Structure 1
């Protein structure tokens, strides 16, 4: 903070001895260090509070490995910022942590999922699958005793506080945890509250009746012992499953039909006929997802078509936006051109608007029935811009050209301005025509500057999800394929559909596609940058 000097302060400063002035400077420095220390402690307190909450949640879900990592990183961060010697680490630590969390961990976890069967019907562990199967086939025991129950809640999870009618013992359990003995507050021989849990009122039970009815609390650690369920939140009854689980033989038997389902290593209990009991569980499948992507005819066909279109879309998008931007930049190089600032503003407008919003506007204008283009420009014609396979691809390229040329215009204009005028003058002196000067002198020098940006633009368009999703949604859809993809889908939108749309969401297959995309883009980038280096050496 800057101190304003006045005649009075000047006189006071002059009256101070050198020792007094030194003491004042020391006090100011100490005050600054104290303020920085307080700010540092406050920020670390926030970090530690978030870490403590994360550790508590991870402890409840028994995620020991992640818990240990979070605790170790928190201790390391505190040691770094309270140490007086670790100066470089104080600047590097935030960036390294963010790099690990958002890049390395994401890439590693995606690769891991690509080697599993993770997806619809295979989301959890085997124990969770067994519990879910047993819970989904529960039927009420005819002579079941009536249990007094109280619905309780902790951190958004519902549980049942159960009073045994025979001995009055109280126990507590949830959908994921079997009944465990607890010390509860009794009222009229019924357990009504337990420490750490909130008891739901009758009105709350009615408001959350669907959740209450879905509660099936395992009676013990053995799933064959059944579960306690309640319809009204007041009385509970014992239900047993029509499936019988044999942990020794690792089989599940349907007691109504006698069919035996065994664990065949595919992540689900499977009968001899091939019928599977779902949900299953997550298992490691090796390269099965990659093999299925490349050999399954119902997947390979659309995968090849989408891959080819992705390359065509990215290449044409980069070429068209670059040449249009370069043409406009050359026009603006003409010194006789007037009102340049106004033209620049109009040309940059498409780049200034959010791309997803512009894509939505274009989708409305290209609507076959009431779009502006058909109704106004073509006099009411019904041109299927977004529903015909060929026209949909052309529409995507046109819209991407409109969105992308301002960026290339700015890049090329800056690069052209960086080329010395002496180069052109030397070409004129040697008798070169304007076209020869551009093609043999300016363009090679321009490419040295913009080629890395063209590579980055290619990688961006290779994964230009927003445009495809907002404009066409990937449609029109392919016929007779097992995955919901269409003619204008690119690889990234195909991955999204495989992972997050449809009845069967196959995260493992989508992750395999993601790894393939990463390999393709990385290979193109490496080769392109090597070519760029050769181009620099040539020039």
Structure 2
């Protein structure tokens, strides 16, 4: 037997493969991987302890599972597909699944203005926000100290030095601990006067003993709350009026006549937000009006942009057309323009008093393009047409050029006229290609916040509406206003509206894709 016919022992072959794999991974790459995983683990550990501190057990468990999965996948030999899929899966969970799930959770709570914390925080806030100075209370010499930009009060009481801040009641302090603080000088007190005067330091863990406040940074006085909290009966009593407020299960202390003390706290309200959306007459009418306009706006936006884009695609696809490249470049320029910036520019151009449209094109006319309900709707559709037709133009151009010319030539031989060729051959084939894009465009315009808010901010205001909505508001802009505009911000109701939008868009997508499948089978 020759040397070329001899085979290496299996053990030597496997050893050589292991050596090759080990040598293929450099020491630098391994160190970089260890450092990156260490940073991920440290971040995850911090997030877990933070979640546990907030008693968010589910979130802490999910973060721990993700951290373990990252370590297993990236320190395990092989599993190459998982190394690429895991980052995308994690981001999907964080930015999609978690957001949707959290929105659903908020929709079943009363979370909003005055109801954005826990009950314990609400009790403390009520006792602190209703404090008055105790008559003839003695003055306490104080010194305002600073540590990490947070202010504290140093009090001389019974020969002992005690320190406290807004979150920590007064407690004795040693000289070593005191060395960590910096005393505010007179100039600093003047510069931070608002912070100093708004600083209150609880005297003890018992909120009924009140707190110390100072107006000059030198002398503090005792302030006590006009509300008296009885933990055994879970009630708040106004010491001035004698009115008793109790927890009636609505997330706020409520008196017998229905008056509530604010702030309250966040509680689970079940389907109350959804019930309000459909049964409260003021909310229901606003929701119905905005929903109808949302469908009309989305449908007309898709229809107008599609037909204009299709018309231009047909014109520029004609072989007899000269300068097609120049016209195509000009036509797609609005597509390169940011939508929010386009809305702002058009808002200036359509201004009634000094806009370019009225002053230059219409010779100084006073047409209220953005303040009349119907003209505002027309303006929104016009601007969205200007922004959206280039996309449809590009899509239709590509779809038309993908249709074989032989089909049109065969139809001509059979005596078909150009319009018949387009209606019976090209258009059905075109719809097969672009219908999924039309569906996605409808869903996009259903939530097209930019053009609505940048152009009209949803206005003009509907005076008879129960919510802060306008004639051009669509559902997503209404959700934004309910959640973030005005003194009363109702995140729970806004989240319920978001769930309703999600369901509507999902139903529309399902029905539309079924029709698309039927269209494909027909062709």
TM-score computed with the length of structure 2 as normaliser: 0.90
Are positions 1:95 and 2:88 aligned together? yes
Structure 2 unpaired stretches of 5+: 1-15
Residues 228 and 77 of structure 1: CA distance in aligned 2, closer, same or farther (over 3 Å):
farther
Residue 537 and residue 78 in structure 1: after superposition, are their counterparts in 2 closer, same or farther (change >3 A)? Answer: same
Structure-2 change in CA distance of 1:470 and 1:275 (3 Å): same
Q: 1:284 aligns with which of 235, 260, 268?
A: 268
Find 2:169's aligned residue among 160, 169, 179. Answer: 179
- CA RMSD, 1 decimal: 2.4
Report Cα offsets for 1:269-294 as digits up to 9, x if no partner.
Answer: 11111111111111111111111111
Matching residue of 2:388:
404
For 1:181 and 1:66, how far apart are their aligned partners in 2? Answer: 35
Distance 1:88 1:399, change over 3 A: same
Q: Partners of 1:449 and 1:212 in 2: how far apart?
A: 67
Query: Residue 466 in 1 paired to residue 460 in 2?
Result: no
**Rounded Cα–Cα distance in structure 1 between residues aligned with 2:328 and 2:429:** 24
Equivalent of 1:166 in 154, 158, 163: 158
CA distance in 2, matches of 1:171, 1:63: 32
Cα distance in 1 for residues equivalent to 2:436 and 2:240 = 67
Q: Cα gap change, 1:287/1:97 in structure 2, threshold over 3 Å: closer, same or farther?
A: same
* CA deviation string 1:427-470 (max 9, x = no partner): 12222111111111111111111000000000000000000001
Question: For 1:307-318, what aligned pairs fall within 5 Å after superposition?
Answer: 307-318=291-302
Cα distance change on mapping 1:321 and 1:52 into 2, 3 Å: same
Q: Secondary structure at the match of 2:109?
A: coil
Work out the CA distance in 2 between the residues paired with 1:202 and 1:44: 49
Q: Distance in 1 between matches of 2:234 and 2:92?
A: 43
Alpha-carbon contact 1:498-1:505 (below 8 Å) kept: yes
The 1:492–1:389 alpha-carbon spacing in structure 2 relative to 1, beyond 3 Å, is same
1:15 is aligned to none
- The CA deviation string for residues 385-430 of structure 1, in whole angstroms up to 9 with x for no partner, is 1111011101111111111000000000001111111111221222
1:136 aligns with 2:129: yes
CA distance in 1, matches of 2:520, 2:251: 54
Query: Is 2:491 the partner of 1:510?
Result: no
Does the CA-based 8 Å contact 1:159-1:172 persist in structure 2? no
Q: 2:328 aligns with which of 311, 326, 344?
A: 344
Structure 2 CA distance, aligned partners of 1:185 and 1:357? Answer: 59
Structure 1, unmatched stretches of 5+, are 1-22
Distance 1:375 1:282 in 2: 52
Whether the 8 Å CA contact 2:139–2:219 is kept in 1: the answer is no
String of CA shifts for 1:162-216, please: whole Å, max 9, x gaps: 4451251534343xx3426454327xxxx8445xx66655544443322232222
- Residues 365/334 of structure 1: CA separation in 2 closer, same or farther (3 Å cut): same
Q: Does the Cα contact within 8 Å between 1:145 and 1:165 map onto a contact in 2?
A: no
Q: How far apart are 1:151 and its partner, in Å?
A: 3.1
3-state SS of the aligned residue for 2:213?
strand
Match of 1:146 in 2: 140
Match 1:532 to one of 509, 516, 523: 516
Q: Distance in 2 between matches of 1:238 and 1:310?
A: 57
Q: How many pairs align?
A: 505
Partners of 1:415 and 1:446 within 8 A in 2: yes
CA separation in 2, counterparts of 1:217 and 1:57? 26
Distance 2:214 2:106 in 1: 38
SS in structure 2 of the partner of residue 261 of structure 1: strand
Structure 2 vs 1, CA of residues 222 and 86 (structure 1 numbering), >3 Å: closer, same or farther?
farther
- Partners of 1:494 and 1:231 lie apart in 2 by 44
Aligned equivalents of 2:172, 2:353: Cα separation in 1: 66
Contact 2:305–2:385 (8 Å) recurs in 1: yes
CA distance in 1, matches of 2:376, 2:296: 14
Counterpart position of 2:13:
none
Report the counterpart of residue 241 of structure 1 in structure 2: 225
1:37-52, aligned counterparts within 5 Å?
37-51=30-44
2:266 is paired with a residue of what secondary structure?
A: coil
Which secondary structure state, in structure 1, belongs to the residue aligned with residue 370 of structure 2?
coil
Map 1:297-336; keep pairs closer than 5 Å.
Answer: 297-336=281-320
Is 301-310 or 451-460 further displaced after alignment? 301-310
